[in-house]
Amino acid sequence: MYFNWTFTFPSPEQLLFKFQSVILVIIILVLMRILLVRFLTSLMNRGIVSASTKNTISRFIDVIVIFIILVTILNVFVPPDIVIIAISIFIVSSFILFFYEIREFVAYINLQLLRHIKGKSYEIRLPGHTTPVYGRIIDVEPMVSTLEDIYGKRIYIANSLLVNAIIKEYVPSVQIRIRLNTGEIDPLRVVDDLIKSIEDIDLGIFRIDSKKIMIEKIGVGEVVARIRAYPVSTPIRLSDLVRLANEINKSLIKYNPEIEFMETTI
């Protein structure tokens, strides 16, 4: 490849004209930067983007503005061939240094196009992971997205993983196993009492479909049932679970119930 390294220094008139052009470009870029940052600030104030999102995009804008200004200045003092080499080196270096940020930001833009992803509960199977993650997506930021499980614990996932994950909507629930000591009472009557009690008690923030109560065991002196309780809102507190257990215990106290909350994913 042949490069022409000869360069003739411009005359004072040409130099003045080029300086005026550089100053004009700088003024235009600074004004555009101010307008874009104000626009991002208005979006942040309306809750459309978060503060971290606004700051990240602002930094990208600053890098682009500085890059264009440097190229404009170099174009005044050095030959075009050197400018092209300098631009190439700058682009490659920036891509290597900011590869992670660029990758996550591109994934963030893709996630933003999925308008209804926030606020819903999902079963998420991440690339390279065998166990799914369950949670409600509460925030999507330029680098990571935040999930919140049924108990309020937060999980942070890189956007590049989330955008390539298999996502399925999921209804959060709590599984409860109830063991009732029937004694000499007919087990079928005990099952009827269990269903009626579940329909009558105050479930607090939970909802239970009595038609979906699963009877695991009807044996000598005992009935074991499994119930799935669906919270109206999440996260749930320990006091919500204690209250639900107390209500079930009071309504079935004559059967000396043993109540166990099963391990749940969300």
The CATH code for residues 116-169 is 2.30.30.60
CATH architecture of 174-261: 2-Layer Sandwich (3.30)
pTM here is: 0.65
Q: What is the pLDDT of residue 64?
A: 84
Q: What is the pLDDT of residue 212?
A: 84
Residue range 19-43: average pLDDT? Answer: 85
Same fold: 116-169 with 174-261? no
Give the pLDDT confidence of 189-242 residue by residue, as tens digits.
888 888 888 888 888 889 888 888 888 888 878 899 999 999 988 888 888 999
Q: Which of 104-118, 145-159, 233-247 has the least mean pLDDT?
A: 104-118
> Is residue 17 scored above 50 in pLDDT?
yes
34-38, 74-78, 185-189, 225-229: segment of lowest average pLDDT: 74-78
- Helix, strand counts (H, E) of the chain: 7, 10
Mean pLDDT of 137-141: 87
| Alpha helix segments (H runs only) across the chain | 12-45, 51-77, 80-97, 99-113, 159-163, 187-200, 238-251
**Per-residue pLDDT, 177:** 92
Domain ranges for the chain: 12-97, 116-169, 174-261
Mean pLDDT of the chain: 83
